[in-house]
Amino acid sequence: MANGVLYVTEPWSVVQALDARTGKRIWRYDPEVPRDKAHDSCCDVVNRGVALWGDSVFVGALDGRLIALDARNGKLRWRAETFDPATPRTITGALTANTGANDRRLLVYKLGGKSELPESPAVVVQHPEPPQAADDAATLLRGRLLYQGNCGVCHGDSAMGNNMLPDLRFSPMLEPASWKSVVFDGALKAKGMIGFEKFLAESDVEAIRAYVISEARKELAFKLMPRDKFANLRPGTKSRFSAP
């Protein structure tokens, strides 16, 4: 908020300016993100808000455009491509870009700057077929509850990753032996991932593995869905969970 005006984002990277006293809309800017871009998004077509500087409002659009608007009327001032929109990257965070595939890049822009950005590295999105594990409802429920109670705080809700730690769904450690050595024995203790030997039974750790693998399979099915299924989404329609 600045000078009595609230700047908020909606799904599809739409920005609104509202009078903070009355709630009345002052302007609305829709960057018209192509709807099939929902396919590349890790976590729906969300946007975690704008940045304000002087009389400019900045928003990162889902398709990678960094957009500067005139704060007074919402008119476009300039835009820059932070990555090639044909690559499976998105911006969903607070002006950050990611592929949902453990691939990150920090870009810094300077107002009035003249430098060219370095070339984007090629994106290698790997969603390998996960290993086998139990998939009966009772094991998956137990795994989910144990995950939520012991792992989610660091590894993110629904095993989706949180942009800082590895996305467990696509971890090379999903194989039973390496999973046990990390999660139970504490092979990565020195890096901040304790072993859970004192807190969980081996069968608990295995149930969590089964749950994470079931989430990996859901994500894989989503990624393999054809892009044109996403083309007719209305703004505000959640992409991942409801549309196709």
Site residues (vs ligand HEC, CB under 6 A): 150-151, 153-155, 165-166, 168, 171-173, 179, 182-183, 188, 191-193, 196, 208
Contact yes or no for 30/74 (Cβ under 8 A): no
Return the bridge partners of 91, or none.
97
- Closest contact distance (angstroms) between CB of 195 and ligand HEC is 9
Q: Is the CB of 54 or the CB of 192 nearer to ligand HEC? A: 192
Non-local CB neighbours of 142 within 8 Å, separated by 6+ positions: 204, 207, 211
CA 219 to chain centre: 13
- Closest contact distance (angstroms) between CB of 136 and ligand HEC is 19
- Closest contact distance (angstroms) between CB of 34 and ligand HEC is 32
Q: Is the CB of 154 or the CB of 231 nearer to ligand HEC? A: 154
- Closest contact distance (angstroms) between CB of 48 and ligand HEC is 22
- Closest contact distance (angstroms) between CB of 159 and ligand HEC is 9
Name which of 26, 35, 27, 31 is nearest 13 in CA terms.
31
Non-local CB neighbours of 196 within 8 Å, separated by 6+ positions: 150, 183, 184, 186, 204, 205
Q: Is the CB of 65 or the CB of 180 nearer to ligand HEC? A: 180
Q: Is the CB of 29 or the CB of 211 nearer to ligand HEC? A: 211
Half-sphere exposure of 43 (CA within 13 A, CB side): 19
Helices (H), the chain: 137-150, 152-155, 176-179, 202-223
Q: Is the CB of 18 or the CB of 207 nearer to ligand HEC? A: 207
